[in-house]
Amino acid sequence: MTVAVHLENVYKIYNNVPVVNDLSFTINTGEMFGLLGPNGAGKSTTIRMLTTLTKPTQGRIDVSGYNVVSQSILAKQHIGVVLQQITVDDDLTVWENMELHGRLHHIANPGRQRLIHQWLEYVELATKRNDLVKTLSGGMKRRLQIARALLHQPQILFLDEPTVGLDPQTRRRLWEIIRDLNKQGMTMLLTTHYMDEVEYLCDAFGAGKPGRIGIMDSGRLISLGTLQELRSAHGEGLVMKQTGDRWEYLFFPTLEDANLYLNQQNDKTGMMVRPSNLEDIFVELTGRKLD
């Protein structure tokens, strides 16, 4: 199995404060990799280093076999990037945005026109090709960003909170696009605050292999594995107990163990059992509680 992304002992330090702190992991070719973490965990800084927008203070990063510092131009040729900010040009048409991106990547005609049409069809924007981007909905703009990121046929796609601020229906449509691209063999790294998004995109589907999930906190990678591996490590059964206006969470190896514990309690008031999910594990690991 070949490696698409490799980080080794990576640091990024601002004002003597490590924002990314000794980060190491690999992403295999064709893998869907979800990167989670609370605000300030270092996810966006990691994405910026992976996409050559900022240099690591220390450590090594290789993308598609190219060092992002010494071979940044070659690395850029093999990656596509979809940021959470809308980065398409509002004053150009849909087609003009794609045309500009194709020319910047030196894609020659007639292949450029064919690829523009192919990807606009794929994201269902071909009928909007002559519309100004400023007239599109937020979801359409995000789909255009994906089409634009795919135009130069990258091997790896980086998605930094691609569905933030979108309505549920649009989010689901983007999930299908992302999942289909991964099924076709594209390597993907996704950051998001939506736990259901990671559960859906990194879960096993069809004959595919489940993607892995990395959880960052304070610049460090504190947990890594598939959803099932994380649930097995932290507990697949959960007992919830209401205490005042708060809930306490007790993890158990299996759902049966959780039910057995509940049945042994003399007073079951305010208690319930359910399977654990990614959000439970995330909160348990990061210890973030809102007052």
Q: How far apart are CA 25 and CA 36, in angstroms?
A: 14
Q: Is omega for the bond preceding 56 within 30 degrees of 0, making it cis? A: no
Pairing of strands 212-217, 32-36: parallel
List the chain domain ranges: 3-224, 236-275
The pLDDT tens digits for 81-106 are: 998 889 999 999 999 999 999 999 99
Q: Which CATH number is 3-224's, of 3.40.50.1000, 3.90.1150.10, 3.40.50.300, 3.40.109.10? A: 3.40.50.300
Q: How far apart are CA 42 and CA 129, in angstroms?
A: 37
pLDDT at residue number 243: 86
pLDDT level of residue 1 (50, 70, 90 thresholds): low
Question: Which residues have CB under 8 Å from 16's CB, separation 6+?
Answer: none
**In the predicted structure, residue 207 carries a pLDDT above the cut 50:** no
Please tell me the number of Cα atoms within 13 Å of 96 on its side-chain side: 10
Q: How many CB atoms lie within 10 A of CB 86?
A: 15
The pLDDT tens digits for 32-49 are: 999 999 988 999 999 999
The pLDDT tens digits for 160-193 are: 999 988 889 999 999 999 999 999 999 999 998 8
Token pair of 236 as six digits: 């697949």
Q: Which residue has the higher pLDDT, 117 or 84?
A: 117
Entry field: residues in the chain: 291
The stretch 251-264 carries a mean pLDDT of 96
Angle between helices 227-234 and 278-286 (to 10 degrees): 60
**In the predicted structure, residue 218 carries a pLDDT above the cut 60:** yes
Q: How far apart are CA 288 and CA 284, in angstroms?
A: 8
Fill in the DSSP letter of residue 186: -
